[in-house]
């Protein structure tokens, strides 16, 4: 009974936090939606490092740039695991693979390192640069879509990032958003996120004895198992299809080329290979699209920013559509992108890390296996870091010439632009790709179109978000019109030129020159032995 009564209590040497109740600790204070607002309030009250006691588990929340640097970056060998999530990892394949198949939620260890190395082969800076022709073509289809169906702008932004990622992952374009394979995959993913977010899932994480209950008493677990079966089949199916094409020599360059090499040398199942590929698709597509929806919202709410941005583009590019070579001459556009990432971050509370050993910080104990949250929103909205933080003001970044990775590596954390991409060893590997996709989209959309609030509708509310681990603005109407007939013609002409490069199935007739066929290096023999 004594031990049970200790559950939910905060030991005195832990970081401070809101008062707890026996057994549940702070569980009753975690809001079901818009958690970032409450987490920001607690940061103001309890400081840069605070703790929440959630039943049997501890959550440490880092709400200052310095704390993120000191722990997630400098002690990354301790802080790069992920918390155990029963529904996402244990139910989804832990009986086969420790920690489950999902790379994004995988615990730190050899299997994660292997996936990380395979991703690196396609996401490193050299490989990333060679994907610009893919980004260019998808971008031009997106601009043409905005011309034809401006009301469906969110769909066009999503297709843009999906199609880029399906090419990088599997080698095929996705020229339509209603591609049934993609629809099934994303339906399943959203259902899974929902199931992960249920109270039943939280209780199973926090009170492990409940896991002994039979399935009929745990409908959330039963449903998660069904979803996992469907998902595994989808991921494996997509992988097997490319694997067969690799064998008969018809596959296009993609992550799967390296994945097949890695499978030969490192020996893992087709299920795991399917997840490594499928997880890249999930990591790379919705995220970029969410940031672009945030950008459109900012343009409706801050017309003076839009005007300034267009003046810069007109000055530098005139009648010609911007391209990647213009990047360093369009500093205001670069600043707009950084400001979008700060002002409307889709990973609004990061993706939780976990610490693998007891540690100490600022005189407090950080216990082993704590969930460690990067409180992105509180840091982005800290008036000490950013004056008038709720205002969208690209001027804050006018003298910041870094790209995302350079900024993330700043020695002085107060100089880091934002924390959208996370920190430490789990930091986003797709930053080089995301930077380019964002630059092409933002500069060209502003070059070609005017963005205005839809007549008869109130301006969108930036606080209205679609909830989840990754948030984005709730859909809002917008009026998107070409800036002139000349701009509209140019958009059509560019897309017509691109279409000539595609076959009747809207796939590339010939792969653009310089695509990375394979850069994967098998691990050194000693390292392999450990695996």
**Residue placing its CB nearer to ligand HEM in the complex, 103 or 379:** 103
Is residue 258 within 8 A of residue 519, CB to CB? The reply is yes
Q: Report which of 123, 118, 94 is spatially closest to residue 221, judged by C-alpha positions.
A: 94
**Residue placing its CB nearer to ligand HEM in the complex, 63 or 287:** 287
Q: How far is the CB of 408 from ligand HEM (least distance, A)?
A: 10
Q: How far is the CB of 105 from ligand HEM (least distance, A)?
A: 7
**Residue placing its CB nearer to ligand HEM in the complex, 71 or 280:** 280
**Residue placing its CB nearer to ligand HEM in the complex, 20 or 291:** 291
Q: How far is the CB of 68 from ligand HEM (least distance, A)?
A: 9
CA distances from 289 to 142, 378, 483 (A): 12, 23, 23
The residues of the shown chain that bind ligand HEM, judged by CB under 6 A, are: 103-104, 116, 119, 123, 165, 168, 280, 283-284, 287-288, 291, 346-347, 350-351, 353, 420-423, 426-430, 433-434
Q: How far is the CB of 395 from ligand HEM (least distance, A)?
A: 22
Q: How far is the CB of 277 from ligand HEM (least distance, A)?
A: 11
Q: How far is the CB of 176 from ligand HEM (least distance, A)?
A: 20
Q: Sort strands 57-62 and 371-374 into parallel, antiparallel or unpaired.
A: parallel
In angstroms, the CA 457 to CA 438 distance is: 27
For 182, the token pair is 């993609």
CA distances from 253 to 316, 348, 497 (A): 35, 33, 22
Q: How far is the CB of 351 from ligand HEM (least distance, A)?
A: 4
Residues 480, 484, 489, 491, CA torsion sign: negative
CB count within 10 Å of CB 11 equals 11
Q: Report which of 439, 418, 187, 487 is spatially closest to residue 288, judged by C-alpha positions.
A: 439
DSSP assignment of 96-149? TSTT-S-STTPPSSHHHHHHHHHHHHHHSHHHHHHTHHHHHHHHHHHHHHHHH-
In angstroms, the CA 168 to CA 121 distance is: 11
Is residue 44 within 8 A of residue 389, CB to CB? The reply is no
């Amino acid at each position: 009974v004594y031990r049970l009564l200790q559950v939910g209590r905060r030991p005195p040497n832990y970081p401070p936090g809101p008062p707890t109740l026996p057994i549940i600790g702070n569980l009753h204070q975690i809001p079901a939606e818009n958690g970032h607002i409450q987490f920001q309030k607690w940061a103001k009250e309890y400081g840069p490092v605070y703790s929440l006691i959630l039943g049997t588990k501890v959550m440490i929340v880092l709400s200052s740039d310095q704390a993120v640097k000191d722990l997630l970056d400098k002690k990354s060998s301790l802080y790069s695991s992920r918390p155990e999530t029963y529904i996402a990892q244990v139910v989804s394949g832990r009986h086969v693979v420790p920690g489950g198949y999902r790379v994004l939620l995988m615990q730190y260890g050899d299997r994660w390192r292997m996936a990380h190395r395979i991703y690196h082969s396609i996401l490193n800076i050299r490989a990333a640069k060679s994907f610009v022709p893919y980004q260019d073509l998808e971008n031009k289809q997106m601009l043409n879509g905005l011309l034809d169906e401006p009301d469906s702008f969110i769909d066009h932004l999503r297709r843009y990032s999906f199609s880029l990622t399906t090419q990088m992952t599997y080698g095929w374009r996705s020229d339509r958003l209603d591609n049934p394979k993609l629809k099934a995959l994303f339906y399943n993913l959203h259902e899974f996120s929902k199931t992960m977010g249920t109270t039943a899932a939280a209780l199973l994480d926090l009170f492990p004895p409940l896991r002994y209950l039979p399935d009929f008493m745990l409908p959330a677990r039963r449903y998660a198992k069904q979803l996992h079966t469907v998902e595994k089949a989808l991921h494996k199916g997509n992988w097997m299809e490319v694997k067969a094409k690799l064998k008969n020599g018809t596959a296009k360059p993609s992550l799967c080329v390296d994945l097949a090499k890695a499978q030969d040398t490192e020996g893992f199942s087709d299920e795991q290979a399917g997840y490594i590929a499928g997880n890249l698709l999930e990591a790379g597509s919705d995220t970029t699209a969410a940031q672009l929806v945030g950008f459109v919202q900012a343009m409706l709410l801050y017309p003076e920013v839009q005007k300034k941005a267009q003046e810069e583009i007109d000055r530098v590019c005139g009648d010609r559509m911007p391209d990647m070579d213009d990047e360093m001459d369009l500093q205001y556009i670069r600043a707009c992108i950084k400001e979008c990432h700060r002002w409307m971050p889709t990973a609004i509370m990061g993706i939780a890390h976990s610490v693998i050993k007891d540690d100490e910080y600022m005189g407090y104990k950080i216990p082993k296996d704590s969930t460690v949250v990067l409180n992105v929103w509180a840091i982005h909205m800290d008036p000490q870091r950013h004056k008038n933080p709720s205002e969208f003001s690209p001027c804050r970044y006018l003298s910041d010439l870094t790209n995302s990775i350079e900024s993330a590596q700043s020695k002085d954390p107060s100089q880091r632009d934002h924390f959208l991409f996370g920190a430490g060893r789990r930091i986003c590997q797709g930053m080089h790709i995301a930077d380019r996709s964002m630059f092409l989209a933002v500069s060209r959309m502003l070059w070609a179109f005017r963005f205005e609030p839809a007549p008869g509708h109130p301006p969108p509310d930036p606080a209205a978000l679609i909830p989840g681990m990754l948030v984005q603005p709730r859909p809002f109407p917008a009026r998107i019109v070409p800036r002139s007939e000349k701009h509209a013609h140019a958009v059509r002409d560019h897309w017509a030129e691109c279409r000539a490069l595609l076959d009747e199935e809207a796939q590339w007739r010939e792969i653009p020159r310089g695509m990375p066929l394979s850069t994967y290096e098998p691990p050194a023999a000693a390292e392999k032995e450990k695996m």
